[in-house]
Structure 1
Amino acid sequence: MASADYPHGSEPYSTLEVRSVETSNPQTLDGSNKEVVSNPDHSYPQVVDPQTQTAWDAPKPESPYADTEATAVQGQPNQATRRTICGLSPRIFYVILAGAILIVIGAIVGGVAGGLAGKKNSSNASNSPDSSTPGSGTTANVNVLGESKLAASNWTDPSGYVHRSVFFQDPTNAIIARQWDSQNKTWTTRNVSQFMQSSTSGPINPLPGTSLASASCSSRWGSLYQVLVWFSEAGQKNDVISWVNSNNPVNNPNFWVYNNSGLPTWNGTQLAVAWQRCPNDKCVGSWTLAYQGREGFIRVANASNWGNNTTPVVRTNAVSAGASLALAPALQGAYVDGMTLATQRRPGSMGRTTFLGDWNWKEDDGTIIDDVDPLKTRQFAATTMKNFTQSFFVSLSTDGSITGSRWDGKAYNAVPEITFAQGQSTNFSAIAMTEDAMFYGISEDQIWEYSVDTTDPSTFTLAGKVYP
């Protein structure tokens, strides 16, 4: 693997060796099938002593005045006995009774008012933007982690049936796969993190809200059918890139294998990955991963040697921190061994870096989309069209809107506004695309699927709900 054709300052790096590994004839997608107040017993009214007391249990002082009512009750014969109620004169008794009734009524009214106010506050809290806005990261979500990213890929099995995988994190931080089988026309949920609990390599620990990237391989020549998803984990000194792969997705789809690339990353890197086909008919191909390295360079790693230092292909001062990335396979001559890398450039654009062959890259090969502010951008996604002769790149803004640009084989044509036909909620917090022009978005704790019109990519047509 040779370096990019420009100097990178003093940053050391070495090259990767590319193993001679698949390709088949250019794959054709034209025929693919796209598819939640009572008082205690002892609290009776009592007579209030007119004398001031220093404590509730202090003895009452001797009074110099005669208690005429008490004298009458004690039955002195020379005085007329007065009528009493509970030992009290009727007037005092009724005064105390009226006061007690008022206290009870006040308590009831206060309780009702407090309950209504609490209900109103609870309703306001449940409807507040912080608890319902996609991507807010609150515990309001029950299906998808609020800050979850999204990844997707597709492949075709030996019988010609199309399969698609969509990856995200649930509220427990687990990586979940939703997988589509065009033969049975069903989505199946697989908890990848749960599958790895019994692995000898131990459970996986993806960072909350980690960038996700997926690619799939389907090679009839090499009988190779695989589905992979990459993510970031916390390392001893730096975050590192790991992945899990399903090596037999047809016959044993619940068996996944964990791998750690050991590649250190920087600043919560975003990820982009593609399966690069081989430039001849005698090898399988390899996985190509783009990410942001420790010094901020955009680097490209190859599966032929993950542990080797990887090639920086875009200078650190040319890209934004936490740069959005997208990687799309492309025809290079007769084979699909070319690639186009989209990166977030400063001060505000989606720039293009092109693979030239023999692991050489042209760093600045034009602009894909103008006016892409790094501070207002969440992520990029890309797909291929017209048998890999064309590509389509999109950018998701922080306000949930999406803009795009189509490569027609000669130039990029801006698509400033995308219409979601028959769309549900389209305030997306994360997006992904497969190579067969399918689009996925997280919105309001749900994942939706759209089909891209390859004739007019400004229109996305709703295909259905992916999850839940």
Structure 2
Amino acid sequence: MASVDHHHGSEPYSTLEVQSVEASNPQVLEGSNKEVVPHPESEYPQPVSTLNAWDAPEVKGVDTEAAIAQGQNDGNAKRRICGLLPRTFYIVLAVVILIIIGAIAGGVAGGLSSSHSDSSSTPDPGPEPGTTENVNILSTSKLAASNWTDSQGNTHRHVFFQDPYNAIITRQWDSENKTWTTKNVSQLLSSSTTGPIHPIPGTSLACASADNRWGSLYEVHVWFSEASTDPDPTISWVNLNNPVGNPNFWTYSSSILRTWNNTQLSVAWQRCPRENCVGNWILAYQGREGFIRIANASNWDNNTEPVIRANAVSAGASLALVPSLNGTYVHGLTLASQRRPSSMGKTTFIGDWNWKQDDGTILDDVDPLMTRQFAATTMNNWNEALFVALSTDGGVKGARWDGTSYNAIPQINFVDGESTNFSAIAMTTDATFYGISDDQIWEYTVDTSDPSTFTLAGKVYP
């Protein structure tokens, strides 16, 4: 890859512009006994004489009948309930019961009023996409997809994601049989002499396919990040070199490419301008110093020259890399990257491994703090392209390259969409869109005459 002698910062720069479960410590009653509540002496039961009134000794000057009546009154006075005279007790009890009934009625009325108030207000938008616990797809899983055409003209698609156990899963589509099949790539590599693989949970995934009929080259590759002994993650990938004849045989490769933590990845297969060569696998990623770099199949271990300077892009920059026309043949490349302060910038491959870094703006008003990722596709026989940005609220907007200029599409309309609150997206080079929403993966086709319209094609998974 050719470079120039400009340097930025401490690194060479090239204008190669190219659940937790909450628990409240339960209180345990450890054999407790009922507590004796003391009462004033006056409230304790008093002894009653066994003598009747007629057995009482006479007292001079005292009216015997009056004394008997007084004794009866005193006995009544000492019969108490909870320290209260019976009549008083029952009055207090009635008052307490009325208060409790009133409280219950008030609570019910308040609940109904609150419910009515909530129904007339703006509904709760619910949790942020990708944060709920899933059973089919890892809640933080990214998405990657690619397509290729075999020698019989049949279309094949591969969609990659992570399951709740961090394994990399692929769904494969065969247009001849019109069926989706599932392969657990991590499991298939678990017994490999080069595996097993250990993708970081929620790692960015990038996929590309080759379908060069020269030499019968039909391959599918997917890249991801793995933890390493170095503080920074490294990039690894797996290959499916015979997707029709042996779809279960994957091989694993690692690299020394150090990345910015949580870097996003984007990959394209660059076609060769001649019929007698294979082409190249091109990977865009963010290096640990923040520069956007391009690596290629000629040397994956090469810590490549940066093509976009670090201070021009955001941390964890969204990326999208697609093949494009370079003159009259499809061996060009267009890279979209998240630029500071808030745009999707364009970097163009101009040949001889040279890139034009600042080659215009694809889409304005793309705030890095409100953006999850980019995706891109080609249209109309490589003459046009569509770039889209996924927002943190699950919405999608984009820009169309019509061969002359970029035209903004403020909002994508998902026709017949079952669920469009996307947490991750991907696109193939034949104008097909994939999105994860509500623990499911959906497929949409892009209306190339009006790319603001995506029409539901069906469910990919589960």
Q: Is the 8 A contact 2:273 2:331 kept in 1?
A: yes
Question: Deviation of residue 128 (structure 1)?
Answer: 9.0
Aligned residue runs from structure 1 range 447-462, under 5 A: 447-462=441-456
Which residue number corresponds to residue 188 of structure 2?
195
Q: Is the 8 A contact 2:157 2:174 kept in 1?
A: yes
Question: Deviation of residue 150 (structure 1)?
Answer: 0.5
Which residue number corresponds to residue 291 of structure 1?
285
| Equivalent position amino acid for 1:134 in 2 | P
Which residue number corresponds to residue 223 of structure 1?
216
Question: Deviation of residue 65 (structure 1)?
Answer: 7.9
Aligned residue runs from structure 1 range 344-355, under 5 A: 344-355=338-349
Which residue number corresponds to residue 141 of structure 2?
148
Question: Deviation of residue 149 (structure 1)?
Answer: 0.6
Which residue number corresponds to residue 417 of structure 1?
411
- How far apart, CA to CA, are the structure 1 residues paired with 2:214 and 2:406? 34
Which residue number corresponds to residue 21 of structure 2?
none
Question: Deviation of residue 410 (structure 1)?
Answer: 1.2
Q: Is the 8 A contact 1:5 1:361 kept in 2?
A: no
Q: Is the 8 A contact 1:212 1:231 kept in 2?
A: yes
What is the TM-score when the length of structure 1 is the normalising length?
A: 0.75
Q: Is the 8 A contact 2:6 2:12 kept in 1?
A: no
- How far apart, CA to CA, are the structure 1 residues paired with 2:140 and 2:4? 34
Which residue number corresponds to residue 318 of structure 2?
324
- CA displacement, residues 393-446 of structure 1 (integer Å, 9 cap, x when unaligned): 001111111111111111111111211111111111110000000000111111
Change in CA separation of 1:288 and 1:240 when aligned onto 2, cut-off 3 Å: same
Which residue number corresponds to residue 172 of structure 2?
179
- How far apart, CA to CA, are the structure 2 residues paired with 1:396 and 1:5? 36
Higher mean alpha-carbon deviation, 414-423 vs 442-451, is at 414-423
SS at match of 1:198: coil
SS at match of 1:320: coil
| Equivalent position amino acid for 1:295 in 2 | E
SS at match of 2:282: strand
- CA displacement, residues 43-100 of structure 1 (integer Å, 9 cap, x when unaligned): xxxxx9x999xxxxxxxxxxx98999xxxxxxxxxxxxxxxxxxxxxxxxxxxxxxxx
- How far apart, CA to CA, are the structure 1 residues paired with 2:193 and 2:274? 37
Aligned residue runs from structure 1 range 419-458, under 5 A: 419-458=413-452
Which residue number corresponds to residue 200 of structure 2?
207
Q: Is the 8 A contact 1:279 1:336 kept in 2?
A: yes
Say whether 1:3 aligns with 2:6.
Answer: no
Tell me which of 378, 398, 404 is aligned to 1:404: 398
**Aligned alpha-carbon RMSD (Å):** 3.4
Q: Is the 8 A contact 2:12 2:305 kept in 1?
A: no
Which residue number corresponds to residue 242 of structure 1?
236
- CA displacement, residues 204-257 of structure 1 (integer Å, 9 cap, x when unaligned): 111111111000001111211111111100011110001111111001111111
Which residue number corresponds to residue 134 of structure 1?
129
Aligned residue runs from structure 1 range 31-50, under 5 A: none
- CA displacement, residues 189-213 of structure 1 (integer Å, 9 cap, x when unaligned): 1111111111112311111111110
**Percent identity, aligned pairs only?**
72
Say whether 1:272 aligns with 2:266.
Answer: yes
| Equivalent position amino acid for 1:297 in 2 | F
Change in CA separation of 1:51 and 1:196 when aligned onto 2, cut-off 3 Å: same
Question: Deviation of residue 7 (structure 1)?
Answer: 3.8
SS at match of 2:189: helix
Q: Is the 8 A contact 1:5 1:360 kept in 2?
A: no
Change in CA separation of 1:172 and 1:135 when aligned onto 2, cut-off 3 Å: same
Change in CA separation of 1:255 and 1:13 when aligned onto 2, cut-off 3 Å: farther
Q: Is the 8 A contact 2:292 2:307 kept in 1?
A: yes
Which residue number corresponds to residue 55 of structure 2?
none
Change in CA separation of 1:288 and 1:4 when aligned onto 2, cut-off 3 Å: farther
Change in CA separation of 1:462 and 1:299 when aligned onto 2, cut-off 3 Å: same
- How far apart, CA to CA, are the structure 2 residues paired with 1:231 and 1:310? 18
**Runs of at least 4 residues off by over 6 Å:** 13-16, 64-68, 127-130
Higher relative contact order (CA 8 A, sep 6+): 1
Q: Is the 8 A contact 1:15 1:309 kept in 2?
A: no
- How far apart, CA to CA, are the structure 2 residues paired with 1:299 and 1:202? 26
Which residue number corresponds to residue 261 of structure 1?
255
Change in CA separation of 1:8 and 1:172 when aligned onto 2, cut-off 3 Å: same
- How far apart, CA to CA, are the structure 2 residues paired with 1:250 and 1:327? 26
- How far apart, CA to CA, are the structure 1 residues paired with 2:357 and 2:5? 8
| Equivalent position amino acid for 1:254 in 2 | N
Question: Deviation of residue 361 (structure 1)?
Answer: 0.3
Aligned residue runs from structure 1 range 360-399, under 5 A: 360-399=354-393
SS at match of 1:317: helix
